[in-house]
Amino acid sequence: MKDLFNDFFENRGAERETAEILASLALVLAILVICILVYIIVKKVLVSIITKIIRRNKLKWDDILLDHKVIHRAVLIVPGVLFYSLTAVYENPDLTEILERLASIYVLLILAFVTSALLDSINDIYRLRPISNARPIKGLLQVVKIIVFIVIAIVIIATLIDQSPLILLSSIGALAAVFSFVFKDSILGFIAGIQLTSNDMLRIGDWIEMPKYGADGDVVDITLNTVKVQNFDKTYVTIPAYALISDSFKNWRGMFQFGGRRIKRSISIDVNSIDFCTEEMIEKFKKIHYLEEYINDKERELNEYNVENNIDTEQKINGRRMTNIGTFRAYLKSYLANHPGIDKDKTMIVRQLAPEKNGIPMEIYAFTRDTAWDNYEGVQSDIFDHIYAVAGEFGLRIFQSPSGYDLRV
Instruction: Report pLDDT digits (tens) over 69-124.
Output: 888 888 888 877 777 777 666 666 666 777 778 888 888 888 888 888 888 888 88
Where does a domain end: 221, 242, 258?
258
pTM: 0.58
Residue 180 located in a structural domain: yes
The CATH number of the domain where 241 resides is what? 2.30.30.60
- 3-class SS at 277? coil
Nearest to 270 by CA among 388, 361, 168, 159: 361
Residue 167 Cα distances to 109, 147, 153, 196, angstroms: 21, 17, 14, 37
Q: Which domain holds residue 228?
A: 153-258
Q: Are residues 217 and 307 in the same domain?
A: no
Q: Are residues 211 and 250 in the same domain?
A: yes
Question: What pLDDT does residue 8 have?
Answer: 41
Cα–chain center distance at 103 = 42
Q: Are residues 228 and 280 in the same domain?
A: no
What mean pLDDT do residues 125-134 have?
75
pLDDT-derived band at 409 (thresholds 50, 70, 90) equals low
Question: What pLDDT does residue 342 have?
Answer: 93
Q: Are residues 176 and 244 in the same domain?
A: yes
DSSP of 122-174, one letter per residue?
A: HHHHHTTSTHHHHS--HHHHHHHHHHHHHHHHHHHHHHHHT--HHHHHHHGGG
Q: Are residues 264 and 233 in the same domain?
A: no
CA pair distance 243, 120, nearest whole angstrom: 25
Residue 9 located in a structural domain: no
Residue 11 located in a structural domain: no
Q: Are residues 321 and 331 in the same domain?
A: yes
Residue 193 located in a structural domain: yes
Average pLDDT for the chain:
80
* Choice among 146-155, 176-185, 359-368 with the minimum mean pLDDT: 176-185
Does residue 9 surpass a pLDDT of 50?
no
Going by the DSSP 8-state scheme, the letter that residue 345 receives in this structure is T
Q: Are residues 175 and 198 in the same domain?
A: yes
Q: Are residues 254 and 269 in the same domain?
A: no
pLDDT-derived band at 5 (thresholds 50, 70, 90) equals very low
Question: How many domains is the chain partitioned into structurally?
Answer: 3
